[in-house]
């Protein structure tokens, strides 16, 4: 299977509750490696640009407001089948639907405060990684 990279964000509800290490452990235990990482407090403009694909959705304003409400950890995870593996470990967007043992089942507070974001395709992963990191920031 191919070695891939995916973009992972630990959201403000995770930094606020000081559980970023617990969440990263879930990804590492699944065989994913952190190859780039930064803690950043996004401006509303930055959060809005990152989630521009959702601009027309009714939850967009709340999403932008939440994602700029506190620090996040942005990271690149690398491993076999990383895009899908990361999504499997995250669990469903709404924690009510998330499989027991997944990050969102374990830690998410609601569909809005759902602790983590992950790229949904290899193509989006490349774009999302480039949004936050230069090639030289990534050390495999
Ligand atoms: P994320 O994977 O970061 O992608 C967009 C985010 O919008 C999503 O996680 C949720 O936190 C948030 N969101 C809020 N309401 C919805 C919804 N109805 N469908 C999808 N995402 C939603």
pTM (predicted TM-score): 0.98
> What Cα–Cα distance (Å) separates residue 7 from each residue in 10, 95, 132?
10, 20, 9
Pocket test for ligand 1, best of 50, 63, 112, 124 (most atoms within 8 A of CB): 63
Q: Is 109 in the pocket of ligand 1 (CB under 6 A)?
A: no
| Residue of 137, 77, 89 lying closest to 115 (CA atoms) | 89
Candidate from 14, 96, 111 with most ligand 1 atoms within 8 A of CB, to mutate: 111
Q: Residues 20-79: pLDDT tens digits?
A: 999 999 999 999 999 999 999 999 999 999 999 999 999 999 999 999 999 999 999 999
């Amino acid at each position: 299977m191919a070695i891939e990279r995916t973009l992972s964000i630990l959201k403000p509800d995770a930094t606020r509750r000081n559980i970023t290490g617990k969440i990263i452990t879930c990804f590492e235990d699944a065989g994913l490696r952190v190859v780039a990482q930064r803690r950043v407090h996004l401006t509303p403009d930055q959060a809005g640009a990152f989630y521009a694909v959702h601009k027309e959705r009714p939850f967009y304003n709340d999403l932008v407001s939440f994602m700029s409400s506190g620090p996040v950890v942005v990271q690149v995870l690398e491993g076999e089948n990383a895009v899908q593996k990361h999504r499997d470990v995250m669990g469903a967007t709404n924690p009510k639907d998330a499989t027991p043992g997944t990050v969102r089942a374990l830690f998410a507070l609601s569909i809005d405060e759902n602790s983590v974001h992950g790229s949904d395709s290899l193509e989006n992963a490349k774009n999302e990684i480039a949004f936050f990191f230069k090639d030289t920031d990534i050390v495999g």
